[in-house]
Homo-oligomer: A and B are copies of this chain.
């Protein structure tokens, strides 16, 4: 099995050594340097006398974790969990108790304000992307069209081809360079990353401002560069980043703290806002506020809270409204509300678009097709991704691949248009850039409508162009070539979504199916190709991403017509059932390939035989209430024991008997305590010192310094630390006999990070973390256990 550098993983590379970062097999010198660094830092850590600045240390630390395995049978231990369970320690409770009910109300209002801001900013970002893409693509297409129009008569269309390919490549290279060199986590649609975040896995850099900026410009470049991608998926990531940023009232990247929303500086609150941001993103992308809420719930939430849901809904609403409003102004129709999303499918209204009960089997058949094609797409992309992980991991290679794809896309498009002789009369519904090419005057090349356009507009044409606008061959060739381009494109090191390409592929074969039906039935009124294009689009998208309820609602909201609710549901369900039979959804595949310890909805059905005893990690490093500082520093510095939560026990009575649980303390809390030197000079004597506040913990959140950056002198090592006030005195516990499904349910429902396993006398026997639960999955031969890789 090949190991790969962290380059191709979602985690960001460390800037300093980025370009020369090595592949394990074949770069001896570099890896030697790295391992010596690792060793070095670990020694430094053990001496606990390091006082370097944060950044360089972070680099050292991350570069030690540079290889990740590619196999989906592994879980990487490098991903940490988020704390979705509040640590209810004394400080926290005191603060909460001090707050009056008026203050709680103010807090509630500020939550609404934050959601409004999230909505507005997400809408604005979507608006910016839309306008930028339209302008840039407009310039490009005009230049190319001019060139083609010029050269068609005189010959020399190859120059036009080169021009087109060069333009595409030039635009794409900008985005690819940004993503590959500066923030690899901004690649792709970002939906898998947000899924992981909402699931409780910390993906490094995923909600940082820098990621947002690169994502936005990356999307503009890849869409304008003519790749087979959409700008809708990345909006979900963008919304999430905006939410994470706004809700914290500060930006670590910009080093600005606005001193607002300080209460929200913890994982629990932040997650709620990120859900809202993701929903606002969907809402802006598809004009689907309800769909956005459902997306957030389907992908992320485990606990449904009415007020939270409602706030998410509000953010979604504001987002689509903002987008609508500003796009209305941009299009010169102030006050017009017909642009609720980046894409809308146009209005389906004529009589022919109604469906009859006898069409339902046809829809189900299309669902089956969507499922099969989706599975093929996912499988191909899976192999391609493994290939990429193995061989295309250096940024320069990645950029090269992106440029290559851009050029190939242009070439394929050109070839399609060139060899197609499908001329259509220039009618009222004419294309935006009608290419005459070899058609006679007053006609245009219909293949050009599909290729010589942004994918959104192509989708709309396929839905709405009157019957007869496309000939079957054109559609067939288009489907095939776009299918191949799209599967090649997803996973490139550019910011790009897979929704629109999927819809486009589906719409193309759906329309083809509709034309086929119409010819079979001698053109009955019901076999409207536009209707079948819509159903095909739903089927294909469902077959690839495998979302159900949320996707149904998104599609219905995007079509603006509830009539299609039932067929879309049927088609999505069928596509999911068929697709799941073969292979997982695209996002899940990518999550698995990153070895993320992702917790699904339920424990595997046959896991009742396992109990907490088998699942837990044991023995556990515990601290006592009054612990020696040196001890704590040593434990925290020990790289092989990368724990983040430590049970606090009352006494170690007998040396071999574990102590009674009396709390749980987090690594991050200990770090803050060490940083503020909250030491008791001598054991049992207490010095007057500044009392730590929740604020101190919040200020350090979320980038707690590594232990190596904290200087602890030899004297201080002899001091004691009183953890009573800072530990969570009421961690959730389970007895050792608890079955895995029961542990899982508790873990998932409460969003836990650590669950202490105790015996009947409340002694600490072990600790269950996310990785302990995520490693069991139902394979072909019953329950299987995944390996946990240390890298």
Contact = CB atoms under 8 A, between A and B. Distances in A.
Given A93-B739, A289-B569, A661-B760, 10 more contacts: A88-B738, A88-B742, A97-B609, A290-B552, A309-B549, A313-B548, A335-B357, A336-B357, A557-B565, A660-B761
Contact of A662 (B290, B356, B760): B760
A317 interface: yes
Interface string A326-346: 001000001111001000000
A265 to B, nearest CB: 18
Nearest to A356: B335
A737 B729 contact: yes
Contacts of A293: 549
A608 B96 contact: yes
A606 B101 contact: yes
B562 A313 contact: no
12 contacts: A97-B608, A101-B782, A289-B565, A298-B304, A302-B303, A307-B602, A309-B549, A317-B569, A337-B355, A557-B565, A729-B735, A745-B750
B306 A304 contact: no
Given A93-B739, A606-B104, A732 B746 contact: yes
User: What are the 4 closest A-B residue pairs judged by CB atoms, nearest first?
Assistant: A104-B605, A96-B608, A335-B357, A730-B738
Given A104-B606, A337-B355, A553 B290 contact: yes
- Per assembly, the copies of the chain total 2
A379 interface: no
B730 A737 contact: yes
A302 B297 CA distance: 12
A710 interface: no
A601 interface: yes
Contacts of A349: 349
Interface in A545-560: 548-549, 552-553, 556-557, 559-560
A337 B313 contact: no
A346 B208 CA distance: 48
Interface string A302-319: 111111011001100100
Contacts of A565: 289-290, 557
Contacts of A325: 357
A31 interface: no
A220 interface: no
A77 interface: no
Interface in A408-443: none
Contacts of A560: 561-563
A100 interface: yes
Contact of A556 (B328, B337, B562, B729): B562
A52 interface: no
Contacts of A303: 302-304, 749
B566 A320 contact: yes
A258 interface: no
A8 B210 CA distance: 63
A129 interface: no
Interface in A724-760: 729-730, 732-735, 737-739, 742, 745-746, 749-750, 758, 760
A490 interface: no
B601 A305 contact: yes
A335 B93 CA distance: 62
Nearest to A781: B101
A573 interface: yes
Contacts of A601: 305-307
A271 to B, nearest CB: 14
A748 B372 CA distance: 41
Interface residues of A, number: 86
Contacts of A562: 556-557, 559-562
A451 interface: no
A402 to B, nearest CB: 34
A566 B317 contact: yes
A358 interface: yes
A537 B729 CA distance: 51
A279 B321 CA distance: 29
Contacts of A549: 290, 293, 309-310, 313
A750 B303 CA distance: 10
A534 interface: no
A650 interface: yes
Interface string A640-662: 00000000001000000000111
A231 to B, nearest CB: 21
Nearest to A728: B742
Nearest to A569: B317
Contacts of A297: 304
Contact of A760 (B305, B660, B735): B660
Interface in A457-512: none
Contact of A337 (B328, B357, B553, B733): B357
A339 B612 CA distance: 52
Contacts of A305: 601-602
A297 B358 CA distance: 33
Interface in A81-102: 86, 88, 93, 96-97, 99-101
Interface in A46-89: 86, 88
A357 B337 CA distance: 7
Interface in A80-133: 86, 88, 93, 96-97, 99-101, 104
Interface string A566-594: 10011001000000000000000000000
Nearest to A605: B104
Contacts of A320: 566
Interface in A757-777: 758, 760-762
A739 B96 CA distance: 11
A405 B737 CA distance: 61
A280 interface: no
A756 B570 CA distance: 45
A566 B557 CA distance: 11
Interface in A218-269: none
Contacts of A4: none
A330 to B, nearest CB: 15
A525 interface: no
Given A566-B337, A742-B730, A761-B761, A605 B101 contact: yes
Nearest to A303: B749
A778 interface: yes
A399 interface: no
A276 interface: no
A301 interface: yes
Given A304-B303, A335-B358, A561-B562, A758 B762 contact: yes
